[in-house]
């Protein structure tokens, strides 16, 4: 055999083995990476589509991890008690893969006003809240009874992270559903719902208004419900599903952040 031909065959074999090794490493599970700002590709597309299907604010599936994707990931992490990072790590990806899709909600028509970036509130009694833009009340007084009736019909529905249907709700998905059933479409997550209406005190709010709470160690509003009057509110509890509780309850009294007046 010609020596030069034999040498070329050996070199070709080495190159092929090297390429196979690189490909094997590149497709190995250990190569999984955290998705963050400017990440691109099929995994980002998958994350965006899943979050959009679950009702989070993904305007367009682009395959590029942008700021709106980060905000949606943060909202998802808050709703599912995952450490807030805005990045899709292994734990976040697993949750995104396993949670069931929620029903598609009507197009949002009631939006919080745009304003300056939020700054911490220095008032001790609401130190956990953000200073947020306020908007005019939008819930017609004539619809309050219907809102409450719709809310009470869901009592007993179990809590489901990311849930937006009577098969299972999370807190903000429940509030959004109740309003949608009455022809009013509001934002998906509790922290954005908190930007609706005018801030009020417990003594001044009325049935149909919204109440907000802080239930973890983050600096965000993380829970919400609908005020029923007489010191009671209805909400999707993470432990017992949709139920009615007293604002005077020690747990909710401590977690209370603010009420927002939305009834006009």
Contacts of 137 (CB under 8 A, 6+ apart): 197, 198, 261, 262, 263, 264
Q: How far is CA 30 from CA 10, 26, 27, 257, in A?
A: 31, 9, 8, 43
The single residue of 171, 214, 224, 261 carrying the catalytic annotation is 171
Is 261 a residue of the active site? no
The single residue of 214, 223, 224, 261 carrying the catalytic annotation is 223
The single residue of 214, 224, 235, 261 carrying the catalytic annotation is 235
Is 235 a residue of the active site? yes
Q: Is the dihedral of CA 211, 217, 218, 222 positive or negative?
A: negative
Contacts of 190 (CB under 8 A, 6+ apart): 78, 171, 172, 175, 212, 221, 222, 223, 224
Kindly provide the b/e burial profile for residues 234-263, where b requires at least 16 CB atoms within 10 angstroms of the residue's own CB.
bbbbeeebbbebebeeeebeebbbbbbbbb
Is 223 a residue of the active site? yes
Contacts of 173 (CB under 8 A, 6+ apart): 55, 102, 162, 163, 164, 165, 188, 236
- Active-site amino acid positions: 171, 223, 235
């Amino acid at each position: 055999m010609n020596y030069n031909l034999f040498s070329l065959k050996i070199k070709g074999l080495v190159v092929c083995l090297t390429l196979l090794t690189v490909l094997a490493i590149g497709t190995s599970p250990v190569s999984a990476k955290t998705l963050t700002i400017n990440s691109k590709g099929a995994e980002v597309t998958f994350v965006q589509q899943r979050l959009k299907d679950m009702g989070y604010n993904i305007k367009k599936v682009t395959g590029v991890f942008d700021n709106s994707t980060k905000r949606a990931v943060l909202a998802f992490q808050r709703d599912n008690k995952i450490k807030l990072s805005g990045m899709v790590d292994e734990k976040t990806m697993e949750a995104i893969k396993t949670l069931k899709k929620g029903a598609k909600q009507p197009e949002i028509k009631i939006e919080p006003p745009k304003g300056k970036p939020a700054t911490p509130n220095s008032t001790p009694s609401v130190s956990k809240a953000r200073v947020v833009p306020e908007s005019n009340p939008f819930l017609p007084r004539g619809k309050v009874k219907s809102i409450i009736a719709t809310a009470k019909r869901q009592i007993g529905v179990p809590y489901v992270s990311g849930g937006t249907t009577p098969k299972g709700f999370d807190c903000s998905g429940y509030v959004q559903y109740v309003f949608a059933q009455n022809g009013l479409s509001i934002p998906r997550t509790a922290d954005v719902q908190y930007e609706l209406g005018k801030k009020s005190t417990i003594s001044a709010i009325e049935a149909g208004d919204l109440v907000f709470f802080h239930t973890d160690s983050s600096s965000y509003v993380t829970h919400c419900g609908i005020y029923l009057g007489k010191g009671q509110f209805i909400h999707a509890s993470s432990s017992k599903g949709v139920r009615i509780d007293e604002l005077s309850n020690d747990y909710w009294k401590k977690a209370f952040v603010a009420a927002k007046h939305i009834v006009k």
